[in-house]
Amino acid sequence: MEYKVSLGPQHPALHEAVSLRMTLDGEVIRDADLKLGYSHRGIEKLAEERSYIQNIYLTERICGICSHSHTTCFTQGVEQLMELVPARRGLYIRTIIAELERVHSHLLWLGVAGQEAGFESFFMYTWRDREVIMDILEWISGNRVHYAMNIFGGVRRDIDELQRKKILDSLELLKKRTDYYLNLAASEPTFVGRLAGVGKLSREDAIALCAVGPTLRASGIASDVRRDDPYAVYSEMPFEVATADSCDVLGRAVVRIKELISSYAMLEFLLKNLPEGPFKVKAPRKVKPNEVYSRYEAPRGENVHYIKSNGSDKPERLKVRAPTLANYAATIAMLKNGFIADIPLIFAAIDPCICCAERLVQLDDGRRGDSRVLSFSQLRAMANERAKKIDFKKRKIAWPF
Amino acid sequence: MSLRIAPFLPELLRSLFKKPVTVKYPFEKEAVPKDFRGTVVFNPPKCIGCNICVNDCPAEAIDIIRVSETEKKFKMILHNDRCIHCAQCVDSCPTKTYHMDLEYETAAFSRWDLKIEYK
């Protein structure tokens, strides 16, 4: 007998608010549907009211873990609009921070995967090593989470000789630890037994459902924005795109560990070849009318910002497509024909950042219970219609601060 | 690669005899790096009232108000409750009026206590 179960939006197995409606046959999920929009923050609308410099810090706050990804994506887009060539040393430092962020994000993910698989000590060890990276980031940028390193034309802070040496020293330690984790992930029978064969996503499905990042690469497709459409200084660096052919959660873990190892090699290359010179150039405040589509390989996959300028110091439109949104369709395919007990693991395997991806405009009719998707212009017309009905004189609204 | 039983056991045992890395926070404090972005400090005599920081602040945490019409007198309000510690004001200021200190324990009972007025 088939029956329907809904999970979330508030559920201990899910770390963020997302609702899952499933059709079950015993313990097996036959059909699943995701409902989003529980933590929409209106960042895109806010960005239209702020200047480009203010928007750097706003886009940084889209995500806590890939904060540098969003700012870099936004900054390099705006630099293209400004027709500005950033300082070379600035680009190198930007890439160093990006790779350090990838390392800390993947170590965090490994810990989460360990925890979801019931391997708590793995969680403790990876997070212990992540502290090394967090300390480096705090030392370079002045903060652990929001580095605020990007500015149009380069970066805001330089890396000195002492910091360069310390990062290189820490990398040695991290390399050793990561080799140990790769060994552990491949040879510990309980861990392998829990992850292997869970959340299958075939190569064809991964392409058809537009999966991105490690989810796509674990299905055997070597796709990486850093190689396919190089930005910053990735075109000058030798690196290989890590892939796995097992198409399951174990494959995603292996891809991430391999990416860690390639990130260490990249960091070493960048730090050893750090060019001399200024780390930023002066940027104009106003931007000519134009539009740009900026791509960036965040730790979770391809991150996209679309920016439209109108000649003023504020953007006309900013559209953000966070990598998690692209992976939702693949997640549903992964959940189908899996067990209920695997839901947290499959969800964790795409490294979800649900708040970052909340951009959908969907209206629910409370009385009828159906929902529909509206276009931007339709929504605007609706908002105008609604605003006409409100009598602002009657409402006593006072700004409390 | 062949499977082994409990390959992490040596690491686990080694950690049993290690000193804890945590510190007893209110009594012991870890030092922050020297470029840490703590709290914004404003130095009134240097300010020329150009309002660049007001326009650039992403959190709208800075207000500079002209006090008198005839004289060149300003009042500056720093809303530390809104501050996001990005240090953009430090970068934007042409006369280096701002700097960041290492203070990170800024909790208060009321957000009004965090507001600072400079004249």
What are chain A's domains?
Answer: 43-335+344-357 (1.10.645.10)
Tens of pLDDT, residue by residue over A129-151, are 999 999 999 999 988 899 999 99
Question: Burial, A187: exposed, middle or buried (Cβ in 10 Å; 0-12, 13-18, 19+)?
Answer: middle
Q: What is the pLDDT of residues A280-312, one digit of tens each?
A: 999 998 899 999 999 999 999 999 999 999 989
Report whether pLDDT(A400) > 70.
Answer: no
| Cα maximum dimension of chain A | 70
d(Cα A47, Cα A31) in Å, to the nearest integer? 37
Chain A residues inside the 8 Å CB shell of B21:
128
Position A19 scores a pLDDT of 87
From the list B11, B86, B100, which residue is nearest A57 (CB)?
B86
The 10s digit of each residue's pLDDT in A147-189 is 999 999 999 999 999 999 999 999 999 999 899 888 887 788 8
Judge whether A314 is closer than 8 Å to chain B, CB to CB.
no
Residue A393 has pLDDT above 70, yes or no: no
| Cα distances (angstroms) measured from residue A331 to each of A59, A169, A260 | 26, 39, 23
Q: Which of A261, A250, A248, A216 is nearest to A102 (CA)?
A: A261
Per the CB < 8 Å rule, is A192 touching B3? yes
**Residue range B35-63: mean pLDDT, rounded:** 89
| Residue A291, φ and ψ in degrees, nearest 5 | -140, 155
* H, E, C per residue of chain B: CCCCCCCCHHHHHHHHCCCCCCCCCCCCCCCCCCCCCCCEEECHHHCCCCCHHHHHCCCCCEEEEECCCCCCCEEEEEECCCCCCCCHHHHHCCCCCEEECCCCCCCCCCHHHHEEEEC
Structure tokens at B27: 């009594």
Task: Find the mean pLDDT for residues A56-62.
Answer: 92
Q: Among residues 34-53 of chain B, which lie with CB inside 8 Å of chain A? A: 35-37
Give pLDDT tens digits for A323-346: 998 898 899 999 988 898 888 899
Q: Look at residue A398 in the predicted model and tell me its pLDDT.
A: 58
DSSP A168-221: HHHHHHHHHHHHHHHHHHHH-HHHHHHHTTSS---HHHHHHTT--HHHHHTTT-
| Minimum distance, in Å, between the CA of residue A64 and any CA atom of chain B | 14
B94 touches chain A (CB under 8 A): no
Regarding predicted confidence, which is higher, A291 or B1?
Answer: A291
Provide, rounded to the nearest whole percent, the portion of chain A with pLDDT above 70: 94
Chain B nearest-CA distance from A351, in A, is 24
At B1 the pLDDT is 55
Burial class (CB in 10 A: 0-12, 13-18, 19+), B57: buried
**Contact with chain A for residue B10, Cβ under 8 A:** no
Confidence of residue A268 (pLDDT cuts 50, 70, 90): very high
Say whether pLDDT at A78 is over 90.
yes
Interface contact flag, B56 A183, Cβ < 8 Å: no
From the list B3, B59, B84, the residue facing A187 with the nearest CB is: B3
β-strand partners of B10:
none
Query: Which of chain B's residues have a Cβ under 8 Å away from the Cβ of A183?
Result: 1, 7
* Cβ–Cβ gap B8/A188 under 8 Å: yes
A207 touches chain B (CB under 8 A): no
How deeply is A238 buried, as exposed, middle or buried, from its count of CB atoms within 10 A (0-12, 13-18, 19+)? exposed
Q: Is the pLDDT of residue A96 over 90?
A: yes
Closest CA to B21 of A115, A124, A352: A124
Shortest Cα distance from B62 to chain A (angstroms)?
Answer: 13
Contact between A142 and B33 using a beta-carbon 8 Å cutoff? yes
Residue A401 pLDDT grade (very low, low, confident, very high; cuts 50, 70, 90): very low
Condensed to tens digits (0 to 9), the pLDDT of residues B4-18 reads 777 778 888 888 898
What value does the mean pLDDT of chain A take?
A: 87
**Torsion sign, CA atoms B40, B112, B69, B62:** positive
In percent, the amount of chain B with pLDDT more than 90 equals 25
Amino acid sitting at position A47: A
Chosen from B88, B99, B114 to mutate, greatest number of chain A CBs within 10 A:
B88
In this model, does residue A366 exceed pLDDT 60?
no
3-state secondary structure of A35: strand
pLDDT tens per residue across span A4-20:
888 878 888 777 888 88
Residue pLDDT, tens place only, A235-257: 998 888 999 998 999 999 999 99
What is the reported pTM?
A: 0.88
Residue B111 scores a pLDDT above 50: yes
Q: CB-CB: which of A139, A148, A187 is closest to B7? A: A187
Token digits for B35? 């470029």
The answer on pLDDT for A399 being more than 70 is no
Q: What is the pLDDT of residue A360?
A: 55
Domains and CATH numbers, chain B: 31-118 (3.30.70.3270)
